Structure 1
Amino acid sequence: MAPNVAPETDPDWWRGAVIYQIYPRSFQDTDGDGVGDLAGIAKRLPYVASLGADAIWISPFFKSPMKDFGYDVSDYCDVDPLFGTLEDFDKVIEAAHAHGVKVMIDLVLSHTSEKHPWFEESRSSQSNDRANWYVWADPKADGTPPNNWLSIFGGSAWQWDSRREQYYLHNFLTSQPDLNFHEPEVQEALLDVARFWLKRGVDGFRLDTINFYIHDKYLRDNPPLAPELRNASIAPSVNPYNHQEHLYSKNQPENLLFLRKLRAEMNPYGAAAVGEVGDAQRGLQIMGQYTAGDDLMHMCYAFEFLAQDQPTAARIAEVMTRVDEEAADGWPCWAFSNHDVKRHTSRWDLSPAAQRTLTTLICCLRGSVCLYQGEELGLPEADVAYEDLQDPYGIEFWPEFKGRDGCRTPMPWEPSNQYAGFSEVKSWLPVSIRHLHNTVANQESDPEGMIHHYRRAIALRHRYPMLMKGGHSGVRHEGDVVYFSRDHEGEEMFCAFNISDEPNSFVLPDGTWTQVGEELGSAGWDDSGTMRLEPWQVVLAVRNSAA
């Protein structure tokens, strides 16, 4: 197959890009089964392009038993019939490239489904050709698991298999056995998967749980984690996973060798990767390691801004200072929402003014940006009744943790029916009544709609190269005001944000500045040098040469 490569563009197109995440089950149903599909993505690409997105990230659409909704892959190189066919995927590529949008797909390399032919062969005996393709271990003398590692989805990370009379490792569901990256043939098989999709025309990958690929080959116990260090950003607080320091079950140094091999496969295609770093204590440090230089990953994201608590000015400055320390030679990618966490409008109980300011902020920070479908509408978390739950995570920990279904409900396109234009039949998850009043169609006709602010913020980012690719002066704060300067090729922009419900005074930096971003609510100032910032107000200014 001849590579279906996008027209030649800036090789650093990913640096500062705005990436729009699509959860395909919930984006657009075109075949009347209540589940979104690839044809629906192709149909809605003009909308995505209208937002100004540089790329889309499509969550898994591969063949799967769907016990974890596509993150349990049974065939890496084919489309699940629920979503369409390979030809439908080709049409997505074609439509996206026609609109100037790159396509990134979600590769789940750390584990497969138990129904994958590789695992079915591996579990059949201890002597077959793929016997070592997964992480197998003998029990302790008393029959218990080989060590104390825990699964993110609850309980031991080891599952007994009566065929081999051994345990296999699963960091997630028992139906998601972990691949053994210490086996060279496994690495080569996964590189073949990347080659298949690169030749098909994808522009990059989102790499699920990138720091889980390799485990400690000696299977040493994880040490306990002090209660004061526990952080529920990766797993809910009710999950005992938070009681361990995951020193040996992930984050192994050998992972860098595999990432270099993967980068080498991507380079000829001008493709880029963003890795998901799942670690509550060392996320930024790992991000720095995985994105250093030009032979590892292009960008990674940690969970600092996906956490439960709303970021204050002090917290934003702290995170960005740590990025400067841990990833000065790397490149972060920031998100406030995705398919795994409660929508940030509800998670942080944001007013519309607060959401607008934080949207402008994320579009001004050094790094790339991921936006999750529907966040541009200001959608709150949907309230999904227990009887409607689909997510095994929520079913396991209900009611203290309700799972991820509330952020995965269908995209509301128009108030034309109870399914909001997503489908003509009952959808796989119910459409929130609150979302029916906040559809794309409603907001397009409302000058105050959140969608217009997102478009303006993305347009500002594209208009000023320093916001896309520039460095920054260091992020600081004075009280509730966080501020920094972005610079690129001699041009500079000053940015300040009042991250509070109260007015604040702020001293402007020396120099001659010209206000920009008035359409985003950027405040003007007089010659006094001190200005009053109203609640959630923004200051954006450039030196005259960049105006």
Structure 2
Amino acid sequence: MNIMTNVSNIASLKADANWWRGAVIYQIYPRSFQDSNGDGVGDLKGITERLPHVASLGVDAIWISPFFTSPMKDFGYDVSDYCDVDPMFGTLADFDALVARAHKLGLRVMIDLVLSHTSDQHPWFGESRVSKDNAKSDWYVWADAKADGNPPNNWLSIFGGPAWQWDGRRQQYYLHNFLASQPDLNFHCPDVQNALLDVASFWLERGVNGFRLDTINFYVHDARLRSNPPLAEEDRNSTIAPQVNPYNHQEHLYDKNQPENLAFLRKLRAVMDPYGAAAVGEVGDAQRGLEILGEYTAGDDLTQMCYAFEFLANNRPTATEIAEVLNKVDEVAADGWACWAFSNHDVQRHASRWELNEDGLKIMITLMMCLRGSACIYQGEELGLPEADVAYEDLQDPYGIEFWPEFKGRDGCRTPMVWEKSNDTAGFTQSQPWLPVSPEHLSNAVANQEEDPASLLHFYRRAIALRQAHVTLRKGAHTPPKATGNVLTFVRHEGGAQVFCAFNLSDTPAEISLPDGNWTSIAQDLNGAAVANSQATLEAWQPLIAKKN
């Protein structure tokens, strides 16, 4: 295997084993980042071409959504070969070149591992479904029908309908928490776990610095296949299609969140540690997300960091709600580490979801850079892109097609990145893009914002630079966050250093008092307020970031 890497840069990237703690991670959705060959779909060479833009933001790492061989029923989250690149995205050599370029630019590379399920076109499933006694017969979750022919229990798929699909060859049902073409792997089988650990090793050997672990809490199911109890209507608080999807009618006690998952996460951590690699887990649970985050990141032998969905919710969080989330994390994950995201490839972009103007977008990225934890930024977020309005005839997302029009799916946050305003594909491709470029996005293009020092893009760079300049903001602890009206406050501290953080999350000015001591404002270039004798006036949507002298 020809691995193109820069040895000195890799050594320097490995030097800090705790690089992930407080890191800023930039998520790239490869289909929509940059097309290099004119087929209308983004690819690995396109990512490599645009890496200087990412590096210019000052982030620590990139997270690349799946690019593995796949029939693309769920756009790469249905893997048919974990150890190769889908021809749509390029080759393994293209990936090696991407890693080498990223490392040369000082960027670590994290890739999206989808371990809970595969495509039904994966050779493992092809063998498993042949019979009940072949070598891989127990690599997936198979179960007999009830006496009346119905599925073995009441588990539901996130994409709608039962989580069980009848297979005429084996005369059994198989479990699929997502599409029927995404059968769930059986983590109660040791061979499955070993095969997946080998997958992780394969990519670590190619220079990968870590993983984003898709649906980390879905790996293990209840071996007794017990049915889930109903969930009270008032507790149905899922962030994705909560009103149209019956998945939200159950309390998911048995189809995910099983305690046996911890043993596998320890094995995966042991594989990663010699490489100085780290992982961030996606915790998909509307009711217990923060508690699971705490369980999965506790100590130094599990997953380094996880993110739950609290800040991916539909309603803009108030100062009080943010304080409650942060204090809850302190309660349930005191020995763990959170990773925060406001947008990603699965939810409506937060510029639209929270109805934020530019001042609102600016204070929210400033807040994120001051939070205890690590941070994920989704491509285009730095441009302030709103959710794109994708017509039904242009939809690609099976989730949106299933639940249209009450839920339009996830295509609106997956439209192509806008690099320039000169044409209707915004510099993304030279042909028709796989999803249309939103005309509303063109004025937000990178080239336009580069020319404007007051643009949101330059503001993101300054906000990230603030975090990188202060180890207290990256790795420090915090005092219990407090909300006073619309103002959120806390103090970050590391060793003897202290940084006071206040955020007025409203369009009404507010007066605040700082803790005792002599404070100096350090974020005037982020619209930050000034300190006057331990007092400050926060204008609408204004922060105050001050260090103690």
Above 0.5 in TM-score?
A: yes
| 3-state SS of paired residue (1:419) | coil
Correspondent of 2:302 among 280, 296, 314: 296
| 3-state SS of paired residue (1:201) | coil
1:2/1:199 contact within 8 Å kept: no
Residue in structure 2 matched with residue 29 of structure 1 by the alignment = 35
In the alignment, the residues of structure 2 paired with residue 526 and residue 541 of structure 1 have an alpha-carbon distance, to the nearest angstrom, of 11
In the alignment, the residues of structure 1 paired with residue 508 and residue 402 of structure 2 have an alpha-carbon distance, to the nearest angstrom, of 41
The code of the aligned residue for 1:133 comes to W
Residues 462-481 of structure 1 aligned to structure 2 (within 5 Å):
462-481=468-487
Correspondent of 1:126 among 106, 125, 132: 132
Correspondent of 2:539 among 510, 520, 534: 534
1:513 aligns with 2:523: no
Correspondent of 1:62 among 56, 61, 68: 68
Deviations, residues 473-531 of structure 1 (Å, cap 9, x unaligned): 1111101000000011210100000011111222221111111111001101322x443
1:263 aligns with 2:279: no
1:235/1:241 contact within 8 Å kept: no
| 3-state SS of paired residue (1:427) | coil
Residue in structure 1 matched with residue 282 of structure 2 by the alignment = 276
Correspondent of 1:169 among 154, 168, 175: 175
Residue in structure 2 matched with residue 101 of structure 1 by the alignment = 107
In the alignment, the residues of structure 2 paired with residue 53 and residue 251 of structure 1 have an alpha-carbon distance, to the nearest angstrom, of 32
In the alignment, the residues of structure 1 paired with residue 44 and residue 423 of structure 2 have an alpha-carbon distance, to the nearest angstrom, of 22
Correspondent of 2:440 among 425, 434, 438: 434
In the alignment, the residues of structure 1 paired with residue 293 and residue 532 of structure 2 have an alpha-carbon distance, to the nearest angstrom, of 41
In the alignment, the residues of structure 2 paired with residue 525 and residue 458 of structure 1 have an alpha-carbon distance, to the nearest angstrom, of 22
CA deviation after TM superposition for structure 1 residue 101, in Å = 0.2
Deviations, residues 189-237 of structure 1 (Å, cap 9, x unaligned): 0000001000011000000000000000000000000111111214432
2:529/2:537 contact within 8 Å kept: no
In the alignment, the residues of structure 1 paired with residue 291 and residue 380 of structure 2 have an alpha-carbon distance, to the nearest angstrom, of 30
Calculate the TM-score normalised by the size of structure 2: 0.98
Quick one: percent identity of the two aligned structures?
A: 70
1:93/1:103 contact within 8 Å kept: yes
Correspondent of 2:364 among 338, 358, 362: 358
Residue in structure 2 matched with residue 208 of structure 1 by the alignment = 214
Residues 398-409 of structure 1 aligned to structure 2 (within 5 Å):
398-409=404-415
CA deviation after TM superposition for structure 1 residue 2, in Å = 8.1
Uncovered stretches (5+) of structure 1, i.e. residues with no partner: none
In the alignment, the residues of structure 2 paired with residue 162 and residue 379 of structure 1 have an alpha-carbon distance, to the nearest angstrom, of 46
In the alignment, the residues of structure 2 paired with residue 107 and residue 244 of structure 1 have an alpha-carbon distance, to the nearest angstrom, of 27
CA deviation after TM superposition for structure 1 residue 465, in Å = 0.3
Uncovered stretches (5+) of structure 2, i.e. residues with no partner: none
In the alignment, the residues of structure 2 paired with residue 284 and residue 475 of structure 1 have an alpha-carbon distance, to the nearest angstrom, of 16
| 3-state SS of paired residue (2:454) | coil
The code of the aligned residue for 2:529 comes to A
CA deviation after TM superposition for structure 1 residue 533, in Å = 1.4
The code of the aligned residue for 1:381 comes to E
Deviations, residues 232-254 of structure 1 (Å, cap 9, x unaligned): 21443210011000000000000
Residues 325-336 of structure 1 aligned to structure 2 (within 5 Å):
325-336=331-342
1:110/1:213 contact within 8 Å kept: yes
Deviations, residues 447-471 of structure 1 (Å, cap 9, x unaligned): 2211011000000000000010000
Residue in structure 1 matched with residue 345 of structure 2 by the alignment = 339
2:529/2:536 contact within 8 Å kept: no
In the alignment, the residues of structure 1 paired with residue 423 and residue 234 of structure 2 have an alpha-carbon distance, to the nearest angstrom, of 49
Deviations, residues 12-57 of structure 1 (Å, cap 9, x unaligned): 1110000000000000000110000000011011110000010000
CA deviation after TM superposition for structure 1 residue 119, in Å = 0.3
Residue in structure 1 matched with residue 20 of structure 2 by the alignment = 14
Number of equivalenced pairs = 543
The code of the aligned residue for 2:44 comes to L
1:225/1:244 contact within 8 Å kept: yes
1:485 aligns with 2:491: yes
Residues 23-422 of structure 1 aligned to structure 2 (within 5 Å):
23-422=29-428
1:28/1:36 contact within 8 Å kept: yes
Deviations, residues 415-471 of structure 1 (Å, cap 9, x unaligned): 121100000000000000011111000000012211011000000000000010000
Residue in structure 2 matched with residue 450 of structure 1 by the alignment = 456
Compared with structure 1, are the counterparts of its residues 248 and 235 closer, same or farther at alpha carbon in structure 2 (3 Å cutoff)?
farther
In the alignment, the residues of structure 1 paired with residue 419 and residue 530 of structure 2 have an alpha-carbon distance, to the nearest angstrom, of 36
In the alignment, the residues of structure 1 paired with residue 362 and residue 472 of structure 2 have an alpha-carbon distance, to the nearest angstrom, of 21
| 3-state SS of paired residue (1:532) | strand
The code of the aligned residue for 1:299 comes to M
In the alignment, the residues of structure 1 paired with residue 536 and residue 211 of structure 2 have an alpha-carbon distance, to the nearest angstrom, of 44
| 3-state SS of paired residue (1:457) | helix
The code of the aligned residue for 2:146 comes to K
Calculate the TM-score normalised by the size of structure 1: 0.98
| 3-state SS of paired residue (1:39) | helix
